[in-house]
Amino acid sequence: MPGPNSVPVPNAVVERADIPRARRIVVKVGSSSVSGDNASQIGPLVDALVRAYRRGTEVVLVSSGAIATGFPFLGLEGRPEDLATQQAAAATGQAVLVFRYQKELDRHGVTAAQVLLTAGDLQNPTHRVNARRAMNRLLELRVLPIVNENDTVATHEIRFGDNDRLAALVARQVEADALVLLSDVEALYTKPPEQPGATRIDEVPFGDELAGVTFGSIGAAGVGTGGAGTKVAAARLAAEAGTAVLVTATSLVERALGGEHVGTWFRAAPRA
């Protein structure tokens, strides 16, 4: 948050239409969008990211999906309940997931870098500085960082909780102009969209508490851990630091990064 003597300055991204001109963006994609039958969405996602990259925008991808990707390789039919098996699935799936991203990036001649973090890394000043320095250098070298939680060492007590929060913290760390949170739903609604009377939320002014809004889950059951509520909390966290946030569907990522009027837009506080 700005200090008592700070002076607000114009944000680089104020409206959706400003996204194509962003200096730096963070894009987060959920497990259900890039695993299982939806693994085929990785290709179009990468294509959209590379279009932004070719415009000169520095891109950081926060990708869930390691645990879900590891399921079939361990003979599992669903998300395991015990931590050790979750960690085994994550260790297996993370390698496959990054391979799939790099395979698609190879078509464009772009190199990916894997960055695995725990909540403790961003709470420890030394680790936090090191992580920020490494990601900044990767971006300077025109490498695309792919960030995920380090599930093999994280425990329930030291987890981020979900990758929406991780994405917001990464956006703050790298001072991103915009954060794009992707899921299976094209926007947020005043109540779960399948319920009668649900209306789409087009824009959220900075500081709006969204009184009277009821959030349900987003994503395939048993795959992802986030929901609409976690996206709102993450959006507020990023917006407080001056990063505007767009919540929309993975299938709309190209339109989102192209500045079209899609999803739910969270306005950000002025930067100090």
Any known ligand binding at 208?
A: no
Per-residue CA distances from 104 to 39, 46, 100, 153, 261 (Å): 12, 7, 6, 28, 27
Any known ligand binding at 28?
A: yes
Q: State the Cα–Cα distance between residues 52 and 38, nearest whole angstrom.
A: 22
Nearest to residue 68, comparing CAs of 105, 104, 97?
97
Any known ligand binding at 184?
A: yes
Overall size of the chain counted in residues? 272
Any known ligand binding at 40?
A: no
Any known ligand binding at 163?
A: yes
Nearest to residue 189, comparing CAs of 247, 122, 244?
247
Annotated binding site for ATP: 28, 183-184
What are the binding residues for substrate? 64, 151, 163
Binding residues: 28, 64, 151, 163, 183-184
